[in-house]
Amino acid sequence: MDFSYHPGIISSLFSVAIFVAGNPRSEIPETNFLDNYTTIIAQPRYNLLQTLIDFLNFRIFISPYILLICYYLGAIGLPIMGWLFMLWIKRKFWAASKIYDKSKQLSKEYIPLKIRISFFILFLFFFISMEIVWRMMFEFLIAYLQMWEALMELNSPPSFVKNNRL
């Protein structure tokens, strides 16, 4: 998973890594451990605040993470919930339970085993097809967000222009 959607968090972690590696920035004086420790603590708080502001201004998206959660809820949760809903209907409404039991008995009596197996295979085929279409739908949504991110990177100036190193 690409974590470029949260630049504040990544830059916070990067600033901690720079401090641990030797802190090449000259604007932070190295006087004692406590000063360096407060620098580490203060920097991520600012970046977390900036990340929150970016989130509220729609400069960063949480959609890819939410899309993954929704995909798994749909791919795994919906079939399980459908099965549990069917069991609930059978327990709640006696007529539905009687119809289910009678249709199950009649299908065993009058429908040959070969046809029942072919219906089961057809059901599996449609179920797998539904899962594939569900996956493709979420792949398109995630690809759209990745295209948006790539276009925003093309739109932003290069890093040497941002840092006034031209």
**pLDDT tens digits for range 91-133:** 999 999 999 999 999 999 999 999 999 999 999 999 999 999 9
Q: Rounded to 5 degrees, what are φ and ψ at 156?
A: -80, 150
Q: Where are the alpha helices (DSSP H) in the chain?
A: 7-21, 33-56, 63-72, 78-92, 94-110, 113-155, 159-162
pTM equals 0.57
Asked if residue 54 lies in contact with residue 82, where contact means CB atoms within 8 angstroms, the answer is no
The pLDDT, as a whole number, for residue 39 is: 47
Distance CA 74, CA 131 (A): 9
Task: Enumerate residue ranges in the chain where pLDDT < 50.
Answer: 1-30, 33-42
The pLDDT, as a whole number, for residue 162 is: 59
Provide the residue ranges of all domains of the chain, joining segments of one domain with +: 7-60, 63-153
Angle (CA) 126-128-134 rounded to 5° is: 100
